[in-house]
Every structure is written in structure tokens, then in C-alpha cells.
């Protein structure tokens, strides 16, 4: 019976790893786009404010001790709470157009605090 449990744990880990790779790739792409947009001084100020708001909300929702898998689970449900947080605290002109970029950049940066983070 214990072997069956071990098999299920390995099977779950084998399925989670590719999903994490895809999600982390999305985060990295969003961060790259965030950096590109931030070359414009006005956009940089607006994007930085939005990033700060999303990061603060991540800190509340995920905490300081977390795994990449836990962070990815929060990412799956982030669209609504990210939209709410930015619209309430950082609704700069054009913010809906950059929301997904800011969201991905925030997750990209926040993942570095995961207990199992590896670049």
C-alpha cells in the first residue's frame, strides 16, 4: 500500500513540473515585457505603482513562506483579485492594457522568495 502512495506522489510531481515550467515561462515573458514598457519614464512610474500594489497583495495572499507550486496555484486565481487591487489602488491611465504584464512581472519577481526557487 505504501508503494501505491509513493507512486501517486511521484505521478503528481511529474505532472506538476511541466505546468510550473509553463507558468514560470509566462511570468518571465511578462517581466521582460514589463521591462520593455518601463523604458518610457511616464509608463515606468505607472507600472511601478501597479507592480507595488500587486506585490503587496501577493504578500498578503501567499505569505513569506511558500513553494512554487503554491504560488502557481495563486496565479490561477489571480486575474480577479489583481484587477480589483490595481483598479482600487493604482488605476493610472491605460492600466487595463498592462494588467496582465504587471501581474506576470509581480509573480516572476515574487517567485524568488519560494523555498524551492531555482533560477
Do the Cβ atoms of 81 and 36 come closer than 8 Å? no
Do the Cβ atoms of 89 and 73 come closer than 8 Å? no
Terminal Cα-to-Cα distance of the chain (whole angstroms): 36
Distances (CA, A) of 56 to 19, 40, 61, 76: 25, 24, 9, 18
What pLDDT is stored for residue 60 in this prediction?
A: 96
Cell digits of residue 66: 511558500
Number of other residues whose CB lies within 10 A of the CB of residue 72: 19
What pLDDT is stored for residue 3 in this prediction?
A: 53
What pLDDT is stored for residue 46 in this prediction?
A: 96
The structural domains of the chain, with segments of one domain joined by +, span 2-113
The H or E element that residue 11 is part of is: helix 2-37
What pLDDT is stored for residue 13 in this prediction?
A: 44
Q: Is the pTM of this model over 0.75?
A: yes
What pLDDT is stored for residue 32 in this prediction?
A: 98
Return per-residue pLDDT of the chain as tens, 119 residues: 455 544 443 444 444 578 899 999 999 999 999 999 999 999 999 999 999 999 999 999 999 999 999 999 999 999 999 999 999 999 999 999 999 999 999 999 999 999 999 98
What pLDDT is stored for residue 8 in this prediction?
A: 42
Strand ranges inside the chain, DSSP E = none
What pLDDT is stored for residue 7 in this prediction?
A: 41
Amino acid at each position: 500500500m505504501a508503494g501505491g502512495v509513493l507512486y501517486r506522489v511521484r505521478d503528481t510531481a511529474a505532472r506538476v513540473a511541466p505546468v510550473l515550467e509553463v507558468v514560470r515561462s509566462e511570468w518571465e515573458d511578462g517581466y521582460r515585457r514589463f521591462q520593455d514598457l518601463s523604458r518610457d519614464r511616464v509608463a515606468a512610474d505607472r507600472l511601478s505603482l501597479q507592480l507595488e500594489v500587486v506585490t503587496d497583495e501577493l504578500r498578503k495572499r501567499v505569505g513569506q513562506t511558500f513553494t512554487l507550486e503554491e504560488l502557481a496555484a495563486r496565479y490561477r486565481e489571480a486575474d480577479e483579485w489583481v484587477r480589483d487591487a490595481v483598479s482600487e489602488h493604482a488605476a493610472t491611465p491605460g492600466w487595463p492594457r498592462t494588467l496582465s504584464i504587471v501581474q506576470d512581472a509581480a509573480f516572476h519577481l515574487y517567485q524568488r522568495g519560494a523555498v524551492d526557487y531555482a533560477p
